[in-house]
Amino acid sequence: MGKTNLNKNVLDKNDKTRKLFVLSMFVPIILIEAVFFFGVNIQGLIMAFQKELPNGTTLFSFDNFIRIFTEGFEGSSAVFSEGIRNSLLFFGLSIFVMMPISVIVAYFLNKKIFGYKFFRIVLYLPNILPGIIIATIFRYVTAPDGAGVIASICYKYGWNWPNLFGDSRYAIWSLLFYSYWTGFGAGFLLYYTAMKRISPEIIESAELDGVKWYQEIVYIDIPLVWPTIAMTILTTLPTLLMSSGAVLLFTRGEYGTQTLAYWLFDQVRNRANMNYSAAVSLFFSFVTLPLMFISKWLMDRVPDTQY
């Protein structure tokens, strides 16, 4: 198979074939990634500062950014005020409700609560089923006017069942509930996998010392799986203003359910206001930039745990 050199380490940095290998594997991929990364972002910068004139030509302008404030925050629809509010609601739900629930669900599944195999499959089902299926069924189950399952039960007892997704009083809260219902324990898989790695001896030792179940979660499980939790928070934080629920599947942004993410999607889907939406994306990315560094700084304050 050719000449071999028993004294040459395969990771020897002076090995010329090693350099050739690294170049052949690494460089083409990095180049392609760079083309798309820089290409898309440069394209975005150009579009953000471009104003399209009626005759089809373009000129450099700050109009798109001015428009964010004149139309997005102060206009008749103030779509960004509503969008940011709703995005923060979805983000808050994700971090302050769904994540703790996921950790608790992971704890009980790890403890092999009765039926844990059944729960593990069913709770994860919304993550693997197409969103259109669950959303369509949910819409029909909760439909108003006797057409839906719940409405027909209510009507039997003389109760009214509201139009959850067609009434601005309920629509956003219904979307939040839907996100909670389909996301119940959705993140549990990561925490469950991490908790499985915790040595049973640690838990048994704690139990012998009289540690209660909530103390175990707070003082043992969470610290030991903190890298996983930190990773989840850190990767979720950039989506602070882009959090959204199933807006497209239920309300299309009407009835007070507009989110920034849906608005951007809608513009691109309809090929409308493309330059404006590029400016909006960039603007809100910069707005949330400080949060990223703060988040990383906070995460670094928590010591790593080895087990």
Partner 1 sequence: MKTKNFFRRKTTGQIIVYVIAFVVMLVQCLSLIFCLLWGFSSSLKTQEEFSLNSPLAFPQQWVFANYAEAFDMLEVRGFNFFGLICNSIWYAVGTPLIQITVSMIIAYVVIKYPSKFTKVYHAYVLVMMMINLSAGSAATYRFFAKLNLVDSPLFLVGKIGKTTFAYLIFCAAWRGVANDYMEAAKIDGANHWTIMFRVMIPQVIGTWGALFIMDFITWWNDYTSPMIYFPNWPTLATGLFEYESDMIMSVNMPVYFAGLMISMVPVIVLFMIFQDTIMDRISIGGIKG
Contact set for partner 1, span 137-156 (CB under 8 A): 137-138, 140-141, 147-149, 152-153
Q: Shortest gap between Cβ of 76 and partner 1 (angstroms)? A: 23
Give me the least distance between CB of 63 and partner 1, in Å please.
16
Position 212 contacts partner 1 (CB under 8 A)? yes
Other C-beta atoms closer than 10 Å to the C-beta of 74 total 11
CA angle at residue 8 from 2 to 13, to 5 degrees? Answer: 115
Q: Which of 45, 59, 66, 298 binds partner 1 (CB under 8 A)?
A: 45
Q: Which two tokens stand for residue 205?
A: 């030792």
Total number of residues shown for the chain: 307
What span, in angstroms and rounded, lies between the C-alpha atoms of 55 and 4?
69
Q: Give me the amino acid identity at 48.
A: A
- Which of 86, 159, 190, 255 binds partner 1 (CB under 8 A)? It is 190
Interface pick for partner 1 out of 65, 166, 249, 256 (rule CB under 8 A): 249
**Cα separation of 278 and 280, whole Å?**
5
CB distance 93 to 179 below 8 Å: yes
Q: Name the residue among 265, 266, 284, 274 with its Cα closest to residue 51.
A: 274
- Give yes or no for residue 263 binding partner 1 (CB under 8 A): no
The interface mask with partner 1, positions 164-183, x = CB under 8 A, is -----------------x--
Give yes or no for residue 213 binding partner 1 (CB under 8 A): yes
* Site stretch for partner 1 (CB under 8 A), options 3-11, 73-81, 87-95, 163-171: 3-11
Helix H or strand E segment including 135 = helix 131-141
Of the candidate spans 53-61, 80-88, 157-165, 207-215, the one that interacts with partner 1 by CB under 8 A turns out to be: 207-215
| Residue 60, phi then psi, degrees to nearest 5 | -70, 135
Residues 80-119 that bind partner 1 (CB under 8 A): 104-105, 108, 111-115, 118-119
Three-state secondary structure call for residue 268 = helix
- The least CB distance from residue 42 to partner 1, in Å, is 8
| Residue 60 near partner 1 by CB under 8 A | no
Query: Which of 61, 81, 163, 285 lies at the binding interface for partner 1 (CB under 8 A)?
Result: 285
Smallest gap from Cβ 150 to partner 1, in A, equals 9
**Cβ closer to partner 1: 66 or 125?**
125
- Residues whose CB falls within 8 Å of the CB of residue 243, separated by 6 or more in sequence, listed in order: 87, 88, 90, 91, 94, 259, 261
